[in-house]
A and B are shown apart, each in its own frame.
Chain A
Amino acid sequence: MKSKIYSLLAVITLLLIAYGTFLALGNGHPESTVSLNKVEPSRSPVTLEVDSTEGFAAGGTVVIDSADPDTRETEPIIAVPDAHHITVAKLDHTHGVASYFPVLNKVPFSRQMTSPAPMERTMGDVQRIFYYHVPAATAAYTLFFLNFAASIIYLVRRSPAADRWAAVSAEVGLVFSTIVLITGPIWGRVAWNTWWAWEPRLTTFLILWLLYVSYLVLRRAAEGASGSILAAALAVFAFLDVPFSYMANRLRGHHPPPITLEDPGMKYALMVNMLAFLLFAALIAWMRSDLERLARKISDAHIQKASRGVMACITLPALFLFMFQDRQNLNPTHFMYAGYIAAWTIYSLYLIFLIAKRSRLKKEAAEVGL
C-alpha cells in the first residue's frame, strides 16, 4: 500500500516538474511592451504607439497599466496596423503623461496552461531562474520549520521518529537552500550587475545555511541519544536566531528592489513550479526518512552527510564566477540555462547520493538478515 502511494506520488511529482519546467523554460515572447505617447479617453477606437507588437493580435485583450492602480484598464484589441501600433476599441482613462506605461497582452487561461510563461521585459530570460529559485526557497523554509517543530516534539516527547524527521529535514533543507544560494547569484549577476549583494534576505539566507551546516556537523560529531538532544537544542537556537539576523541586516541598509510578478502567465508558471518542488521536497524527505530508519535499524551507524557533496557544488561555480566578473552585455538566456543546470546538478547529485546510500544499506541489511 505504502509503496503504491510512494510511486504514485513520484510519478505525479516528476510530471509536474516536467510541466513546470516547460512553462518556465520555453521560448516565450515578451508579452508586454511600453508606450510613451499621451492618450486621452475616448469612446471611439484609439491607436496606441508601442515599442513592439510581438505576441499581440487582433481579437485579443490588452491591459493598459500605469503607476496608479485606479487608471488600469483592460480593452479588446480590434486591429494591429503595423509593428508599432495597436488599435483598441475605446479608452476610459488618460495614460502616459510623462513616463512610460506598460501595455500587457492579456492571454486567455487556456493559453496560459499550454504556452510558456512570457519573457520579462527588463531582465529578459534570466528572470526565468525565478521559477526554480523561489520554490526551492519555500521548500527550504518549510523543511527548516519542520526541523524546528520535530526538534521541539523530540525535546518534549523523546520520540525517535521526531528525531529522525529533524535530521532528515535539516539535510534535505540544506540541499534546497544550496540551490537557492547558487541560482540567486547567477540571476543577480545579470539583474543587479553583481554576484552578491549584502541584502537582508540574502544575508539571512546565508546565515540560515551556515546554521544548518553547523547543525549537521554537530549531528555527525555527537551520536546516540545525547547527540539527538544536543542537536534539538541547537535547532531551537537556530530558529530563534533567524529573526535577529533579518533585523540586524535590515538595519545595515542596502535594499535592492523586491520582485513582484504582475503577469498572470508568470504567476501560473510559478504556482505550478511551487507545487512541483514542494512535492519533490516531500518525496525526497520521505525517501531519506525511510533510508534513515533502515540505517538506524541496521546499527547506530552515524549519519552520512550531504555536506561534502554540497561543498563541491559550491566550489565549482567559482570558476564561472571569475569568467564573468568583469564582462558587460551578458546574455540573459545563457545565465538562465546556467541557473537551471546548476539546480539540476545539485538535485541529481543528491539523488545519486541517496540511491547509492540505499543500495549500500540494502546490502548491509541483507547481511544482518533484516
Chain B
Amino acid sequence: MIAAYLALLIPFVGILYFALAGHKTDTGKQNVWFNSVSLLATIWLAINVLNQGTIVSSGKAFLIDPFNVYLIVLTAFVGLTTSIFSSPYMAHEKEIGKLNDTRLKLYYSMYQGFMLAMYLVLTTNNMGIMWVAMEGATLATVLLVSLYRTPESIEAAWKYFILCGVGIAQALFGTILLYYAAVQIGDGENALLWSVLYENAEQLNPEVLEIAFVFLLIGYGTKIGLVPLHSWLPDAHSEGPTPMSAVLSGLLLNDALYAVVRNKMLVDGATHSHLAGYLMMGFGMLSFLVAAVLLHRQKDIKRLFSYSSIEHMGIMTFAFGIGGPLATFAALLHMTVHSLTKSAIFVTVGHAAQVAGTQSIDKIRGLIRTQPKIGWGLLIGTISIAGFPPFGVFTSEFLVLLATMHSYPWLTPLLLLGIGIAFAGLFRHIQPMVYGEKPEGQLPVKANLWPVMIHLALVLWMGLAIPGFLANWFSQATILISGSSPL
C-alpha cells in the first residue's frame, strides 16, 4: 500500500516543486526524474498486487485490483516517456519564442497535477472522489490547452472547459443517484465505496441504477470523446502543446473509460439486464463510424490523429459493451496498445510539425528525406494504429471482431466497413507527408525518438506474442469484470 501512497505523493510534491522553484533550463529533465520515480513506485505496487491479489487500504479509501493496477503502470509509463519527449520539445518552443519561463513553469507544474489526478482516478475506491479527480484532470489541463495564448487556443480551451465541465456534471448527478440507491441499504460514510457497493450490488435499486448509468455514461463519455459529445477533443488536441495531446489521448481517455466500466460493473450486478452494455455498444459504434468518416476531411495533422483516438475509444467502448470474456480481454488489450501507439504517434507528429513549421497536412511534405527517423516513425506508427499485423492493435481489433461475430454477427460488416474507411482516411493523408520531395530549406530538428521506438517495439511485441505475465494479468482483470476467464 505504501507504493500507492508514494505514487500519489510524488506528483503532489512535483506540483509544489515546479510551481515554487520557477523555470530553469533543466526543469524538463527534473520532470523526467519525477516521472521515473513515479514509474518505479507503480511497478512496486504492481508486484505487490501480483503477489497478494487485490489490496484495499486500511481506511478503505484506496483499492488496487488487477484491473486498475495495469492502467496505473501504463499511466506512469506513458507519463514518463512523454516527459522525455517534452523536455527538448518545450525547449525548442521556447527558442522560437512561442513560450516564456512563466508559462513553462505552469506547464511543468500542471503536468504533475494532471498525473496526480490520473493516479487518483485509478487508485481511489470512492466513486465521489473518482469524480472529483476526473474534474481535477480537466482543471489541470485546461490552462495547458491555452498555453500558446493564440485566439484559437483560447477558444479550444474555453470549449474544453465548458463542454467537459457541463458533461462531467452529469456524471456527478449519476454519482448522486448511485449514492441515493446506496444509502437505502447501507451506512452513509462508506456507501460510496466501490468495494462496498460491489459486494451489495444485488440489493441496489435497479430502477435508480439504470437512470444513474445513463447520466454516468453521458458524463464520463464526454471525457472519452464519444460522439456526439466529442467536439472539444479535436480542438483541445490540435491547439494545445503536443506533449499534452499525447497524454490526453493516451491517458485521460482511457481513465474516463475506466470510470465508466467500474460503474457498469455495479449496474450490471444490480439490474441483471444488458441495458448498460447496449448503451455502451450504441455509443461506441456511433463514435467509431462517425470518427472514421471524419478522418477523411481533416486538414490539420493533430486533428487527424485526435479523430483516430475517438475512433479507437469507440471500439473499446463497444467491446466493453459486448461484455463477454473475449470482448473484455480484447478491450483491455486495445486500451494498452492504443495508448502506447497513440502517444508515440503524437510524439512524432509534434516533431514533424516542428520540422515543417506548421500543422497543416497540405504543407508537411517529404519527412523521410528531411529526417528519416521522424518519417519512418510516423509511417510505422500509422501502420500500427490502422490495425496492420503484426502490431498489437491488429490482435486486439481481431479479437473484438471475433467477439462480435460470436455475439452479434449482424454488426460485423459495420465494424469491418469502419476499419476500412478509417484505414483509407489515415493513409491518404499520411502517404504524401512521409514520401515525396522535401520542400526547399526544410531542416531536421533536434529530436529524441527513443520514446517512440520503445512504444512501437512494445506494441509489436504484444502483437507477436503477449508476454505470459501480461496475458495472465489481462485475464485476471477480465475475470473481475466479466466473471469468467477468456483463456
Does A associate with B in a complex?
Answer: no
Residue ranges of A at the interface with B (Cβ–Cβ < 8 Å): none
Residue ranges of B at the interface with A (Cβ–Cβ < 8 Å): none
